[in-house]
Each structure stands twice: as C-alpha cells, then as structure tokens.
Structure 1
C-alpha cells in the first residue's frame, strides 16, 4: 500500500489538501455546535459561506489541474482563505470566537510557500481582518462582560504572533529553500563531473587502445612505401596516418598539461589568430568573419592547453548548424567588457531549440548526438574561471557566448 508523501506534493496541492480538511472541520463544527451543543448561532449564513467556499475550492482544483501555480496564483488562494475565515468568524462571535487564532494559519502557509513581499501582504491582511473583527464585536461582549481589555490583549498577542511567524518562520523557510537550491546545484555539478570523468576515462582507454594498432599500421606503411614507392593506394595512406599520429600525440600533450596543471599567458590577438588557423585547416570551406575590439591589445588571458580545443569545438558545432541551412558563414566578435574577454561565435543556421539551451550543462540527446563537445567546452571554460551561454540571434542562427577573465 502506497503511503501519501506530503513532501512530494506541490505548494498548491498542499494548500488544497489543507483547505479540504478545513472545510470538513468547519462544517462538522457548525453542525455539532448547532445540533449537539444547542448553541444559538446563525446556522444558515454559516452554511451558505461554507458552500461558497467549497464551490471556490472545487473551481480552483479544476483550474489548476493542468496548470502550474505561480506565486501570484498561490497568493490569491491564501487571500481567499483569509477572507472566508474572517467572514465565518464575523457570523460566529467575531474576536470572541475561540478559533480566531486560526488567522495565523494562512501566514504560516505563506511563509513556506511565497516570497517575502507576498508574505507581508498576507500578514497585513490577517492583522486587518482581526482588527475588523475586534471593532465589530457585539456590544454586550464589550460592556456587559467588561472584557474589553481582555479582547484588546488578545489582539495584541495575535499581532505579536504574526510578527514572530512572519519574520522568524519566513526567514527559516527562505534559509531552507536556499539550502535546498544549493544542494540541488551541487548534485547537478557532481553529476556533471562524474559524466566528464567517465568521458575522460573512456577517451584515455580508446587512445591507449588505438596506439598499438596505429603503430602497427605505421610499420606496415613504412614497408609498403619501400616496396611500392609510386603506388597511389600506398601514398594515399600517408596523410591519414600522419593525421592520426599527430592527433594522438596532441591528446597526450593535453593530458599531460591538465595533469600537471600547466597554464600560460596568451595575447588575445595571437589566440584569435591561432583559432583562425585551426578553422582554416579543419574547415577550409568556412568563411570566418572576425571582428576585434581595439581594447584587445591591452589585455591578456591565462589559460591551459584546453582553451583552443574548447573554442574549436564551438566552431565545429557552428559548422554543423550551418550545414542544415546550406550556409558557410561564421561570425566571431571578440571584445573586452567588465575586465573579461567576450567572444560571440554566431552561426547562420536554424537556431537552437529550448531543449538545446541546456547544452553545455548536461548531456542532451538529439539527432546529431549528446552534445558532448559543448559539454566538454563548457567544462574547460569553467575550469579557467569563464562561462558559456547559448542563445538564438534575433535575426538568424545561434550565438555561443564565451566569457573569460583577463589578467
């Protein structure tokens, strides 16, 4: 048998559950007081108010069945509870009602569900409701029983309770919410680090496993080139083998640099020129339009060997995005803002979807892959104290916005 998990429900669902219980208790109390205890209360007005509250409750449940309640929606619901409770108290003794302190309940609910400004609004509404009930008490309650000082004292006690609940409970709820957000962010960061570690381990294993067969192919090629120096099939193997050997050596250099935590200071213009050369080498058909700020000459950045591959990964993604739109243009805009190097890399593709906005933060499955290149680029940039943001251009294509601190 599945036990109801109160913590797994949303704020609006918890509010509806508490209101359902409240309506049942209200109806039971009114019937019990009128029939069993034989006390004189305006039965018909109270039943009409409870009926209206029930109708409002059912309409609210139906309205939020397929909708997500925002803070304003919850605020309206809690203000409605304050209103219904105040009217019930008005017809059943006002401030002399023993249950008048229930006006604190909406404040408690607001303290754990709403921002501070909305919590203050609920608190003020409850205090005004209690004050209105105090000034509209029956005359005999104030004079015949000579209880005016007692009721004013109850009002003062209620006001003090409201202040305590508003500030103490509200502060505790905000602290708990902030801690939960921090823990959630840490869990996501830990998961991302585990994914990156798994990718790193897999890459190292593949590189290690490729080294031996690549060495064997190189030996075989050396023998073939000696026996058949003019054979076109043999000659066509030379460039791919050289590329594989070069990339394998480059990967080992990167791994050593990361392991030893080696960094160097880059002149920004020289870094952009290196990136331009890599783009021309790897994507000769791409038209890379570079726009540089004059302030770049006055700044430098400190980075490791993974910076250039991280930027090249973003260029590769831009090239893939352009292929979907039969475009060859890529725009790179580099400038200095707030003591940081900003690089905006724009493609002229079809843009990115809402799902792809989270690329770089987590693996996102799509027709073209899992976004591992962007994830690795973002990880490299964050390790250097930078950041990566993806968003669509106002006219066409998408922008990868890189920010790195200058030295």
Structure 2
C-alpha cells in the first residue's frame, strides 16, 4: 500500500494544529461573537461539546504517534472532528449558522491525507447532518421580515453539497497525482543511486583487474620455472597450476565481459545452449557441488526458444549458483543446489530457478537484496546487486523468495525472443 501523507508525525502535528485552531474558533464565536453573527446558542450542551472536544484534543496530542501510525487512526480522528463540528453547529443555530461551511475542513484534510474513500465517507456524514439540520430549523428563522427563507437555506445546502463534491474529487485527484509523481521520483532516485553504485563497483573492478594482471603473469613465470627445476609435476604444483589457470581464465572473462558491455554486444542464444554452458561451467569450477537439474518442460520446446545474452549473463547466473552452494554448505555441510527450468503458460518467458538448502533470507532483507548495497558478511549484497544489474540490462527479471520447505529460491525470468527479434539481433551481430 502506498504510504500516505497522514502517516507521518509532521502531518499529525499539522492536523493537531488545525484542530486546535478550530477549537479556539468555536470558543471565540461562542463566547464573544454570538450576537454579532446571530448565533442561537444552547449553552449547556455547547459547554459539554467543548469540554469533550478539549479532552479529545489533549488525547490526540499525547497519542499522536500510535494514533497516526495507520490511515485508519487518522480517519477515525477526522470523523470525530466532523461529529464535534456537527454538534457545535447544531447547538449554535444549526442550518442558520453562518459558519456551516466549516464542515468542509475535515473533508479537505481527508482528501489530502487519506485514500479516496475517506473524503467521500466524510462528505456523506456531513451532508446527512446538514440535511437533518435543514429539516429541524424552527419556524421563526424560516420567516425573516416577512420573507420565506426556506429557499435560501435550501440554496445554502445545495452550495455546500457542490463544494464538498468538488473538493472531494478535485483535491483527491490532485493529491493522488502528486503521490504518483513522488513515487516515480523516489524510484528514479533509487535507480540513480543503484547506477552510481554499479559505476563505482565497475571502476573498482576494472582497476583491480588491471592490477592483478601483473602479479598473475609473475606467478605464471615462477610456476613454469618451478616445474622446470623440479623436473616432475608434483600434486602441489598441479594444484597451483589449476588455481592459477582459473584465475587467468576469470580475468580473461572479465576483460571480455567489460568489452562486451562497453560495445553493447548482445546476441540471441538458444536456451538449451545456455544450459549446456552452465553445466560445463559448474563441472569445471564447482566439481564438489551436487547440482540436481530439473526440466519441467520438454527439450524440444526449450531448443526452439532464444533469449538475449552478452558476456555478463553466465557470470551473473554462476554467482547465484555459488551463493546457493555456499548457503547449503553452511546448513547441510555439503553443497547441494537444485536448478529447474520451466516455460510460462503464455510461452513468452522461461523461468530458471536456483534453490539452496540454507536458512533462508530475512523477510526484511528480501526487497533490498539485488537493488541496493547492504552490509553482508557473506557477500550476498554485491553479488546479487551485480547479477540483478546484468539480468535487468538483458531484459530479464530476478525474484528472490524463501522456499516453504527451507532455503531460498532465486527465480530468473527470461523474455523469449520472437522470430523477428532473433533475425534483427543476428543481423546486428
């Protein structure tokens, strides 16, 4: 639900200030200006109304934080304000009171601070009360210097209804538009912040990759010299050779991915080819991980569908698989990951789901992971941020959720390319 203006303490203080001014106005009119404005006062019930209203004002000032935490609290408060105004008007002349238009004040506040149903409800309450006041006007005020005032009071009632309807519709629509614009601005600011973080990460990664190139070259020369001097390849040397080769391969992929992103080299790829590449990658880089591949659709359907890819797609998916393996290892002691593929009922999307058997993710962190950098000792924040950015650039969507039986599910939704898109993309490549 969209956060409303009335849920903030600032708005609560503003409403309390208006309520205080309204109470002072009632006291001033009752005490000093009744004769000036021709108010027909019934003092005993008016005193009771003003005392109750003062107590209500004190209560709202003391409990404004819990009271305005939800929109229902503000609506109840404005409803009581409306009833207090109705009571004061009723005991100070009713429909003949020149200040009957003050019933519009709670309606205006509701139109600005609450959803559209709230001002409509207050309009209905105020109109009903005003109508009852019209029918209960004594006979003497209806006759003024021999003139029939009933048509005048009816015109005032009609003017009040029109004013309330205009305020309810126009102010509410303007406020709704402003809230939508505020939400769009907040979304744009979030996107700009995310882009700035990605730019900073990309710059740091490029600098580190450049700095790593020289030490890796030195290690390669030292390892070759060690192999020549030892004469035979021991298990330790072979393990060093494998680790160094993996570092060199990762650095080369980083360079290719950087060039691909910079030059915007995107191409269509059959989804089954992507899956074959992922299987080879996991066997090469994650041999200790138990991966269960689940295909809920036929291989023929999968072979006919292509998605948009570049050099950053496979590393993004591999980062998610590595996170899943790490989470399962911390809980089960073994790296166990389930990877399933399915096609949407409309057949315009392909779902790739990666499930781990870890402890899951705190619900409060789920909306933030993948969109903002967060403090995480496990490194999930940066990995998911980069994966989310890479997938989003390719038109894919990353959705994180906790599995009902434990663990986390990372679902990637790929948009399937149509025949025309595939042809145009292949031509551009």
Same fold (TM over 0.5): yes
Q: Match for 2:357 among 333, 340, 348?
A: 348
Q: In the alignment, is the contact (CA less than 8 A) between 2:8 and 2:69 conserved in 1?
A: no
- Tell me what 2:143 maps to: 143
Q: Matched residue pairs, number?
A: 402
Matches of residues 222-233 of structure 1 in structure 2 within 5 Å?
Answer: 222-230=224-232, 232=234
Alpha-carbon distance in structure 2 between the residues aligned to 1:276 and 1:199: 28
Matches of residues 2-401 of structure 1 in structure 2 within 5 Å?
Answer: 9-33=9-33, 41-66=41-66, 69-144=69-144, 146-230=148-232, 232=234, 234=237, 236-292=239-295, 293-294=297-298, 295-326=301-332, 327-337=334-344, 338=346, 339-357=348-366, 358-369=368-379, 371-401=381-411
Deviation at 1:231, TM superposition (A): 6.6
Q: In the alignment, is the contact (CA less than 8 A) between 2:40 and 2:91 conserved in 1?
A: no
Deviation at 1:142, TM superposition (A): 1.3
Unaligned runs of 5+ in 1: 1-5
Deviation at 1:279, TM superposition (A): 2.2
State the SS of the aligned residue for 1:46. Answer: helix
Out of 291-300 and 328-337, give the one that drifted further. Answer: 291-300
1:259-294 deviations in whole A, cap 9, x for unaligned?
Answer: 111122222122122222222322222221222122
TM-score by length of 1: 0.91
Unaligned runs of 5+ in 2: 1-5, 418-429
Q: In the alignment, is the contact (CA less than 8 A) between 1:225 and 1:235 conserved in 2?
A: no
Task: Answer 1 or 2: higher relative contact order, Cα 8 Å, separation at least 6.
Answer: 2
Out of 391-400 and 139-148, give the one that drifted further. Answer: 139-148
Q: In the alignment, is the contact (CA less than 8 A) between 1:42 and 1:92 conserved in 2?
A: yes
Alpha-carbon distance in structure 2 between the residues aligned to 1:66 and 1:121: 23
Out of 126-135 and 161-170, give the one that drifted further. Answer: 126-135
Out of 40-49 and 191-200, give the one that drifted further. Answer: 40-49
Alpha-carbon distance in structure 1 between the residues aligned to 2:361 and 2:325: 14
Alpha-carbon distance in structure 2 between the residues aligned to 1:276 and 1:392: 25
Q: In the alignment, is the contact (CA less than 8 A) between 1:363 and 1:370 conserved in 2?
A: no
Cα distance change on mapping 1:213 and 1:55 into 2, 3 Å: same
Q: In the alignment, is the contact (CA less than 8 A) between 1:360 and 1:376 conserved in 2?
A: yes
Alpha-carbon distance in structure 1 between the residues aligned to 2:152 and 2:166: 21
After the TM superposition, which parts of structure 1 deviate over 3 Å for at least 4 consecutive aligned residues? 6-13, 33-40, 57-64, 231-237
Cα distance change on mapping 1:67 and 1:331 into 2, 3 Å: farther
Q: In the alignment, is the contact (CA less than 8 A) between 2:355 and 2:407 conserved in 1?
A: yes
Alpha-carbon distance in structure 2 between the residues aligned to 1:41 and 1:374: 69
Q: In the alignment, is the contact (CA less than 8 A) between 1:12 and 1:69 conserved in 2?
A: no
